[in-house]
Structure 1
Amino acid sequence: MEYSKTYTAKDEHIDFQNIMDGLYYPFYMEWCRHDYIKEVLGFDFIKEAENGVNMVLSKYTLQFVRSLKKGDEFVVTCSPLVDKTNKSVLHFKQTILLNNKVVTKAVFSGTCVGANGRPFLPENLLEKLAGVPEWDGQL
């Protein structure tokens, strides 16, 4: 169930060292993850929010392996993972690849929150995640 998108490092994301500033890597991962969630899982953030359901992050872990430079064309991947013990938490394992080499790897974890403030995953989302592997806790 891996999903990927290709991006180019934007000039305004490059710092004085001529590498991409570290704060932008999670943004590219977010763009890919949001597209995956909408296109593959069918969860429309705007429509769901209008219905009182918000998908939110609870944490993420990110590891930098190498840097991107101005103009680099790179691939961001996204794969869903379910939680072993908490059925209301969904994880997304993501990587940024440059020439098929890992630049950054991360796991983003989140849930949905309804009007009552309690975490849950909507039934239609759970159906689409049937058979998705469990997260083993590793990046």
Structure 2
Amino acid sequence: MEYTKTYTVKNEHIDVQEIMDGLYYPFYMEYCRHDYIREVLSFDFEIEAKNGVYMVLSNYSISFLRSLKRGDEFSVTCTLYKDKAGLPKLHFKQSIIFNNKVMTKAVFTGTCVPATGGRPYLPTSVLDKIKDAPVLEEN
């Protein structure tokens, strides 16, 4: 299932070249991904942290294809994939799209860890929600 949110480039995110600074692309992806995790997976970061469960990123790769400009209204997509090897990882393929063109694409990988330390895992509540998710075939 592809999840989508719409945002507008903020003036303070524009650099001296009059394009959005590369630092902000992952932030917009994070906003969308966190909403997906909260709304679709029913994982509330604040509540889970208080219960001793941290969801953290373990890796990401990002490709910048085109630049956004001041005031551009754009969409961020988020699609969840399970791990090919069956590891306790969540893979999120994300894109930033403007005028039907992919501006930036990325894959973010995360897992959960106990707040007290310990091995990565995915809570049963999350496993139940992702059982029908496709498997990420690429690395």
The TM-score with structure 2 as length reference comes to 0.97
Deviating 4+ runs (over 6 angstroms): none
Cα drift, residue 116 of structure 1? 3.9
Counterpart for residue 36 of structure 1: 36
Distance 1:40 1:94 in 2: 15
Q: Residue in 1 aligned with 2:79?
A: 79
Q: Sequence identity, in percent?
A: 64
| Matched letter for residue 74 of structure 1 | F
In structure 2, the partner of 1:136 is 137
* 1:66 match: secondary structure: coil
Question: 1:121 maps to which residue?
Answer: 122
Quick check: 1:103 aligned with 2:90?
no
Shift of 1:131: 1.1
Q: Which runs of 5+ in 1 are unaligned?
A: none
Deviation at 1:136, TM superposition (A): 1.4
Stretches of structure 2 lacking an aligned partner (at least 5 in a row): none
Query: Over residues 14-48 of structure 1, what are the superposed CA-to-partner deviations in whole Å (9 max), with x where a residue is unaligned?
Result: 00000000010000000000000001110000000
- 2:100, 2:130 → 1: CA distance? 27
Q: Kindly report the root-mean-square deviation, in angstroms, between the aligned alpha carbons of the 2 structures.
A: 0.9
Shift of 1:86: 3.7
Helix, strand or coil for the counterpart of 1:21?
Answer: coil
Q: Distance in 2 between matches of 1:5 and 1:133?
A: 21
Q: TM-score, normalised by structure 1?
A: 0.97
Matched, 1:16 2:4: no
Q: For residues 18 and 5 of structure 1, what CA distance do their matches in structure 2 show? A: 24
Post-superposition CA distance 1:110-137 (Å, at most 9, x none): 1000134210000110111011111111
User: SS of 1:120's equivalent?
Assistant: coil
The number of residues matched between the two structures is 138
Mapped pair 1:93 → 2:107 = no
Letter in 2 for 1:127: D
Measured in 1, the distance between the counterparts of 2:124 and 2:87 equals 11
Question: What is the distance in 2 between the residues matched to 1:109 and 1:126?
Answer: 15
